[in-house]
Structure 1
Amino acid sequence: MNTSIVRPTQLRAGSQKTQWINRLAIHFKTSVFSALAALLLSMVSINANAEAELPHYSGKARLGSQTCGGSTCHGAVKPWANSAVLQNEFVTWSTEDKHSEAYKALSSDRGKRIAKNLGIKDARQEKVCLDCHADNVPKELQSKNFDIADGVGCETCHGGAVEWLGLHVSGFGQRQDYLNAGIYPTEDPKARAKLCLSCHLSDPRKFITHRIMGAGHPRLAFELDTFTANQPAHYRIDADYKQRKQQSSGVKVWAVGQAMAAQITVEALLDKNRNSAGIFPELVYFDCYACHHSMEEPRWEKRESVNIGPGVPRLNDSSLVMLRVLANAVDPTMATKLMTQTRALHESSSKGQDATMKSLGDLSTTIDGLVEKFAAADFDVSAMWKIYDSLVSEGLKGEFVD
């Protein structure tokens, strides 16, 4: 069958049929080019999202969370029925989200005890505390409505609004325009994990040490999909959201979060600035329960993936164990490689810094590859069943000891 488009010159000039086919040809070409342009733009956007600068370091001025809290903006008591967004996001954050209590935690009984143990007079004045318990940007970036007591507020995660608020209020502009103006792409799992883990684990410019943990700081734990759901979410994924933003399944968000946690852990271990205060690696990167347990309870068990004997502190490999489970569903060969490299890391940790750094470098390359694979993976029903099977299998082997 001949499916080629009839050229206008083959028909009578000025006929309705000629005009119809002309319009059809133009529409076809326009649609194809538009689709290709959209595809290329989305590919560029996804890559740019992953590399987006964290709001904490963007240098964008803050207008303050109260700016978002008007009754006709995001301060409604209840969600609006006929709105593309809920409109009550500020109320949800201020009444239900623990991030709004982050600054207050510094003056709680526990916060005061940690500060006292560290020799700090007031944690609310200390950069090391404020960097994660508030939107601790320089004074020159704080507008008159900015209040550091808001804790981890709107702009801490969504980025300084000084350049994108106008677009936001007007309703004009596409998603990429907002990103260009400095809004942070929290809908992208990689970008969201990078943002959350910068405080819930570490980043090159703000990191928690074993000294802070020893002073009484709660243990750091994080899982991207669960934490997102428990925040609680102050958005809904509807047709409008799907049209404008990237949508990812819970499994993908979980997988990317685990991979990013492993990646950031390895990066931290490779960073000499985060391992310069005494013992290497910094004690905070070891499994807490490798040392902190009752001597009356004989609880040591050999693990296949660790391959070190009793009495040797082991690195916290929780994200690596889960990463191996996920990798087995996406790329079994890489899962086996990850297992081998994880064992090598544990063995090298008692052989000196050079051996450890070599193992970390090998592991880092593998994890970087898995981050990209997970970001592109479909995680269909078949993959999920493989994950279930691997979880049970690894559990029976005693890999999930904590």
Structure 2
Amino acid sequence: MRGSRRKGPLSRIAARCALLITLFAALSATGAAGGGRLMGVASCAGSTCHGRAEGNGAVVRQDEIASWQEPSSPTGAHSRAYAVLGTLRGRQIGATLGIEPTASGECLGCHATTGGARGPQFQLSDGVGCESCHGAAESWLPTHFTVGGSHAANVSAGMTPLERPAVRAKVCLDCHYGSSDQGQFVSHRLMAAGHPRLSFELDLFSALQQHHDADADYAQRKSTPSSVRLWAVGQAEAVRRSLSLFRQPDFGTQGMFPEFYFFDCHSCHRRITDGPQRTLTFETNPGRPILFGIPPYNDENMIMLSAVARVLAPAQAAGFDASVAAFHQAMGQGRGEAVTAAAKLEAAAGALENALDGRGYGSDEAFQVVAAIADRATSPRFTDYAGSAQAVMALDTLLNAMVREDRVTVGAAAGIRGAINRAYAAVESPESYNPAAFRAALGQASRSIGALR
């Protein structure tokens, strides 16, 4: 078994996220990082580099291309990103929007490696290739395979240092949330045409796409990774990215309307029935001081960041929560007020990201964060599907981190899998989502994990 792989079966949300990667959403830096031309996947595929059939290399596995091309699992989703543009669903979306998906920059920004001049071995049909995440390789490829070369030398030559959580989060979110670059924003228009809603959690998706072993050699070259740090920094960067895009007029508005991508989809997409007695289809949320009936901003990452701040950055927690409340309140006042409040909240999230990325991590933080996600301060805020799905992904990814980092045994984690699966079942679909039932299931899952402490 590969040391970097998660132990135990993928849960339902993880599997659904993996399916979304396969269908439409693919990680990509679109060649923006690095230097020089895009050299293509073939430039990495030699048998003495990353093209072996079996992962038995002395320093790196050397079967990374085989993992990237895996046809039947999430591991190979990036290599399939371009091909899905030609599927029935891709063609239907293209026909609705009047574009050719396999040629349109509106799609290629995330479904292929773009953004740089192309070397002779580059193939657009490779989809999201090595350089989408590691950066255009012409400048750093020579140092990368030089005998005696180092990771630091590669980074100096332009390779993207993905071992740094903040850097990785920014790269991943370019497509898994959106950016201001061409073809990297899934607007409500695209979703109305058939593109799935984006859902992302950095540690989970990193594990699904990880092609390396986080062993002693890796730690010596790139430092020891921390899943709690990766998860927490990912939440902070997701909040920053969301607010940064929302503040830009070209992304935050569509004509006279707000860009609905930023709002909780399910606050509007509910069954509408008429009858003699009023039936509310939502709960009011104590974390959102907004007027009754106003569509809420999608705050799934804000809820997670609030919970982690209380545990890992308590000096900044109250200020962040106050900024969140002020932002929600401003959404009911006007575009100008909302943009001003968004800038303040973005700055608060940035300060939290720096604090979370710069601190040390011990053996107990994962347990503390799991408890905080389901405690009395956070649990009442799970009134909507998106935030609830993010919460159960968090519990699962943190439990897997405990196993991977030898804080919990595989057997002990398997023993409470039923509680985790019940929490997943509570967010099986938006149509059947029940807030109270979810909160009860989440609380049981959290207590089950806490009992392993």
Asked whether the two chains share a fold, i.e. TM above 0.5, the reply is: yes
Q: Does 1:220 align with 2:198?
A: yes
SS in 1 for 2:295: coil
Residue aligning to 1:196: 172
Match of 2:163 among 187, 202, 206: 187
Aligned residue for 1:250? 227
- Select the residue among 172, 197, 208 that pairs with 2:186: 208
C-alpha separation in 2, matches of 1:396 and 1:355? 28
CA distance in 1, matches of 2:62, 2:286: 51
Could you say which residue in structure 2 is the equivalent of 1:94? 69
Deviation at 1:275, TM superposition (A): 2.5
Unaligned runs of 5+ in 1: 1-52
Distance (whole Å) between structure 1 residues aligned to residue 51 and residue 366 of structure 2: 39
Matched, 1:275 2:252: yes
- Mapping of 1:326-365 within 5 angstroms? 326-365=308-347
Match of 2:37, SS state, is coil
Which whole-Å CA distance do the structure 1 matches of 2:296 and 2:214 have between them?
Answer: 41
Change (3 A) 1:289 1:150: same
Aligned residue pairs total 345
Number of the residue aligned with 1:84: 59
CA distance in 2, matches of 1:298, 1:378: 46
CA RMSD of aligned residues (A): 1.9
Aligned mates of 1:383, 1:166 — CA distance in 2 = 41
Alignment equivalent of 1:291, drawn from 268, 293, 296: 268
SS at match of 1:55: coil
The one-letter amino acid of 2:286's match is: E
User: Equivalent of 2:118, from 142, 161, 170?
Assistant: 142
TM-score (norm 1): 0.81
Using the TM superposition, give the Cα deviation of residue 362 of structure 1 relative to its aligned residue in structure 2, in angstroms: 1.6
Q: Which runs of 5+ in 2 are unaligned?
A: 1-28, 274-278, 386-453
**Distance across 2 between alignment mates of 1:382 and 1:65:** 40
In structure 2, the residue matched to 1:387 is 369
Alignment of 1:362-381 (within 5 A): 362-381=344-363
Dislocated runs of 4+, deviation >6 Å? none
Aligned partner letter, 2:91? K
> Is residue 2:384 matched to residue 1:401?
yes
SS of the residue corresponding to residue 239 of structure 2 reads helix
Q: Counterpart in 1 of 2:131?
A: 155
- Verify: 1:74 aligned to 2:50, yes or no: yes
Higher CA-based Rg: 1
Secondary structure of the corresponding residue to residue 207 of structure 1? coil
Q: CA deviation at 1:280?
A: 5.5
Judge which range, 182-191 or 390-399, deviates more: 390-399
Counterpart for residue 6 of structure 2: none
* Larger mean Cα displacement after TM superposition, 323-332 or 293-302: 293-302
Q: Is the 8 A contact 2:264 2:295 kept in 1?
A: yes
Higher relative contact order (CA 8 A, sep 6+): 2
The residue number in structure 1 matching 2:148 is 172
TM-score normalized by structure 2? Answer: 0.73
Q: Tell me how far 1:79 sits from its aligned partner.
A: 1.0
- Please give the alpha-carbon distance, in whole angstroms, between the structure 2 residues aligned to 1:57 and 1:73: 21
Indicate conservation of the 8 Å contact 2:38/2:136, yes or no.
yes
Matched-pair contact (CA < 8 Å) for 2:33–2:159: no
The residue that corresponds to 1:15 in the other structure is none
Match of 1:238 in 2: 215
- Where in structure 2 are the equivalents of 1:283-322 lying within 5 Å? 283-296=260-273, 298-322=280-304
> For 1:225-264, what per-residue CA distance to the aligned partner results, in whole angstroms no more than 9, with x for missing partners?
0001112x11112222111113321111000100110111
Deviation at 1:320, TM superposition (A): 0.5
